[in-house]
Structure 1
Amino acid sequence: MENSGNNLKTEEWQRTGDLCTDYLHLYLSSIMYDVTFRVGDARSKNSYQKIFHCHKLILSAASKVFQAMFYGYFQEANKGPDDEILIDDSEPEVFDAAMRFIYGRQIEVFTIEDIAAKVYKFGNKWQIGSLVKASERFLVEPSPENVALIYDIFKMVGNEVGAKRCLKVIVMNTNAVLNSPHWCNISEEQLMDILSQNELDISCECDLLEALIQWGLAKVNAEGNCEISHDQVRSVINKPLQKIRFLSMGHQDFAKFCMKNKNNIFSSSEKLDIMTSLSLKSPESLPKDFSKEDQSRSIFDKAIIFDLKTRYNDKSIVYPNVFKFSIDKDARLLGFKFLSFEDMPINFKPNALYTLFELLDGYKCNENFDESKCSKICEGNTVDDYDEIEEVCRFRKSPVIANYKKYAIRVKYFNVDCTSLSEHKYKKYDILKGDILFLVLSKSCSAGIGALLFLEMPRPEN
């Protein structure tokens, strides 16, 4: 039966003796209703309104807010059974799910995560403790698709434990969150929280910049503007824009962003200043109030160490200036570990060097390596990207490595005394706390990395 009107006679009610079942029948059939709600926001393009017939006594038993509304000094107390009470901050599906729980303790619909989140919000507003607890149980492990919505709701109601749990999911699944249906509806507070994180699951800072602009466009559009101007969008995103780490981008990344986004969010002078700063790797030319932070946001907590285990101990073989490798899973390449040269006779530490990094892609596992057929999918990192805390050279752009391909990688050192290297005796260098042994190449200064760091990518759901 549908909750649509008081059109059934009370004698037709076949009572079962189970209160939950019988109360639920009251709601579904609208028998003896004494209050009417119109639920939904008519002003929203994506919403509609629906009529619900309920029972004051049952709602008052569940919520002291409903009790005050129906039996206190509010104007709703004087309304008749068919006089509508508007609830425009909830959706009909959410209200219906809440009522089915209040009347009959039904929780099946809570398995739909975004419904459970909105019911949780409804329960907090109307102070229905049992509803809050029941719906929250379905939000303990939020999915990347809905975590932005859940995070906003937890922050709104002051659930700090739940909010921290959500933020962790956002950090570890940022790209998925940026492409989720809830991204453009998040609050500015949540947006600032995300952009303030030092680690995020993104391939490049440009991912955040593009997502920020999409968020700004949505906010301006939500205000009902017929024509959206670039000045309006810039005004909306101006504060969070100050959290974007332009210096962690490559100048080519920013150039591609400008070509892809044919808008005037940035003035010509700002674009020039940003490009100049990226080219010079200096914050001096950045526009006023822009972030001077230059570290990428690569995540290392769950990084997989890929040991190259290179052995350069045969003098008769001329080794190419390239390391070839493949992995057995799709992953994002986060950075690489340097060798330890503390025992070398020259100053050969990472922070004293300039490094050119190149990752070559272009040949399948059953093919022979041919550098001329490879394409560069990541290049240009220098020791300016060296993270002294993690002791890792972070990539400004974290490329995706596919498990069905082979790759080639090289790191070239410049301004290194190769003579001192060639005269130095072969010696094993223990790095990564004894996990990796690496032999220094005697006649080449390209043997510069001992390990790659990956972040495994989740498999797509069928």
Structure 2
Amino acid sequence: MGDQMSNQADPINWKRTGDIAQDQLYLYEHGYFYDCTFAIGADKKIFKCHKVVLARASNVLAAMMKEHFEDESRSRDDPIVKFSNTSAEAFEYTMRFIYGNDRTLRSVQVAIEVYRFAQECCLDMLQQVAADFMAKKCQPEEAITVYECFKSYGDDRPLDTVASVISQETFAVISSESWRHASVKTVEEILQLEHLNTTESGLFRALLNWAFAQKKTTLPENQKIVMASYGSNFFSDNENYRELIDKPLKLIRFRNFDAYEFLRSLAHSNNVLTEKEKLQILMNLGNGNQFPMPNGFTNVLRFRNLRPEKYSFSFHHLERVEDIELTKNCPMSLMSFQVNSAGFILTGVKLHSLSYANKGQVMDVSCRLIAGDALRSLVSVQFQGANTFGPQDVLSFPEHVPLKKGVLYILHTNYYNKETCKSRRFNYGKNLRCEDTDDYHFLSFKSCMDNSHDDISSLIMRRFM
């Protein structure tokens, strides 16, 4: 054993494997026959390398070797001082990859440094390895950092995976330290995402915490101590505070709040919103979203924190009486319904007329939801053109509608084209049941007209997370 280890450590008689990568890695690990050195990291750790191996890996590294050694007075032990933003650990991994194709990354933080190094030195394969590792291993507390890394280099390949982490683990992401250091552009992009697993009021609080962190970094140290005891309210009278937060603030979907939730949120926001803006938002919430939002604020009313599974209350379970033809003599369908519990959001409908039975037929159909208690229109959607709907396709409303317990809703479907298409008529039951874990939820429905056909085959509903 002693003789074998002695041979292993012998620069002349070491046991060669026949694998060029493994043999190169052995020379690097032992520093044999090196002809250049690098000083890396805060401690200027010395790495002994080989010009020909580095030059083979990258044109950028080859040019660096040539430039450094054009002065013949420089020896192999005169270190090349480059890569000030690269740690010794990241450089070590990069060399092991270049020499021996070693792909054993240990952490996302190191992978980020390796990714940036690979980008700077045009090491495309290494960059892809680091990107794949970051996308696969990214945790919520690292998601913002990884997201900004990919965005800074215009690398869209792994962004979907990271965006998925942000969407699914939103609360953990916006509670992390990396969120507080995010750029304003990143904050805006996240607030533009359609699906985020937190409430809109949670996003509002996270935005205030982010702004608080930005201000905190610009203050003198003695003021930071004072500010810590006040929290985000410390900046309530600061003119630049709104300027900092203005664009992302207008992406918050205040229309998704209920009035009580909005008033409670105001206790933490102080003068972020003007008195006029507060009043306008409250008027909007108090009048069924009919009052205009403040200038520049989003009008979007789609809930981001809905459960991924759909609750489809289907009328297919009822007994079909007959197929009927829709013509100019049958221009509309009316159906009313109620839910027995709160928390449901109506996102769309399925229509019999928009099905395979009318495949290719030119259609002009509108569907409108009315609050029966006040006969007030809540939302509507229209389809015009050749019917290409498949079995799973849904006519989605442009806005989500929170359904209130005990309120009568009417779905009013109109047909504007004169060409004949098919629908169905059903017998009526009393309730349809949708199972949700241990609870059962019922939908009561009936026809609003004795002779009406029932074009609506399913109501597509979701619930809050």
TM-score norm. by structure 2 comes to 0.60
Write the mapping of 1:309-348 to structure 2, written as runs, cut at 5 A: 323=340, 335-336=345-346
How far off its partner does 1:245 sit? 2.0
Paired-residue identity, %: 19
Shift of the 438–117 alpha-carbon distance from structure 1 to 2, 3 Å rule, reads same
**Within 2, Cα distance between the matches of 1:77 and 1:237?**
56
Moved more, 97-106 or 229-238: 229-238
Whether the 8 Å contact between 1:339 and 1:450 is mirrored in structure 2 is yes
The residue aligned with 2:419 is none
Structure 1 unaligned residues grouped into runs of 5+: 1-9, 41-48, 313-320, 326-332, 343-348, 357-381, 398-408, 417-424, 444-448, 458-462
How far off its partner does 1:127 sit? 0.7
Shift of the 456–63 alpha-carbon distance from structure 1 to 2, 3 Å rule, reads farther
DSSP-derived class of the 1:182 partner: helix
The residue aligned with 1:36 is 38
Write the mapping of 1:214-363 to structure 2, written as runs, cut at 5 A: 214-223=209-218, 225-226=220-221, 227=223, 230=235, 231=238, 232-259=240-267, 261=268, 264-280=271-287, 281-282=289-290, 284=292, 286=294, 288-298=295-305, 302-305=308-311, 307=313, 323=340, 335-336=345-346, 351-353=369-371
Shift of the 437–295 alpha-carbon distance from structure 1 to 2, 3 Å rule, reads closer
Whether the 8 Å contact between 2:37 and 2:47 is mirrored in structure 1 is yes
DSSP-derived class of the 2:81 partner: strand
Larger Rg: 2
Is 1:119 aligned with 2:114? yes
Shift of the 74–193 alpha-carbon distance from structure 1 to 2, 3 Å rule, reads farther
Match of 2:120, as an amino acid? K
Per-residue CA deviations over 1:148-202 (Å, capped at 9, x if unaligned) read 33332222222223334443553454344333453334443333332223x2123
Shift of the 120–181 alpha-carbon distance from structure 1 to 2, 3 Å rule, reads same
**Within 2, Cα distance between the matches of 1:30 and 1:210?**
54
How far off its partner does 1:439 sit? 5.7
DSSP-derived class of the 1:160 partner: coil
Per-residue CA deviations over 1:184-221 (Å, capped at 9, x if unaligned) read 34443333332223x21234222222222333333444
Q: Find 1:98's aligned residue among 94, 99, 115.
A: 94
Shift of the 17–415 alpha-carbon distance from structure 1 to 2, 3 Å rule, reads closer
Structure 2 unaligned residues grouped into runs of 5+: 1-8, 225-233, 319-337, 353-366, 383-394, 412-425, 433-440, 449-456
Is 1:440 aligned with 2:442? no
**Within 2, Cα distance between the matches of 1:239 and 1:77?**
57
Whether the 8 Å contact between 1:307 and 1:450 is mirrored in structure 2 is yes
Is 1:15 aligned with 2:14? yes
The residue aligned with 2:187 is 191
Per-residue CA deviations over 1:397-456 (Å, capped at 9, x if unaligned) read 9xxxxxxxxxxx82313899xxxxxxxx9725999xxxx99663699xxxxx98674479
Whether the 8 Å contact between 1:144 and 1:176 is mirrored in structure 2 is no
Whether the 8 Å contact between 1:34 and 1:55 is mirrored in structure 2 is yes
**Within 1, Cα distance between the matches of 2:252 and 2:70?**
49
Size of the alignment, in residue pairs?
A: 362
**Within 1, Cα distance between the matches of 2:351 and 2:216?**
56
Shift of the 442–63 alpha-carbon distance from structure 1 to 2, 3 Å rule, reads closer
Whether the 8 Å contact between 1:250 and 1:396 is mirrored in structure 2 is no
**Within 2, Cα distance between the matches of 1:52 and 1:242?**
51
Query: What RMSD over aligned residues (CA atoms) do the two structures have, in Å?
Result: 4.9
DSSP-derived class of the 1:108 partner: coil
**Within 1, Cα distance between the matches of 2:72 and 2:59?**
14
Match of 1:235, as an amino acid? E
The residue aligned with 2:49 is 55
TM-score norm. by structure 1 comes to 0.60
Whether the 8 Å contact between 1:243 and 1:291 is mirrored in structure 2 is yes
More strand by share: 2
Match of 1:215, as an amino acid? W
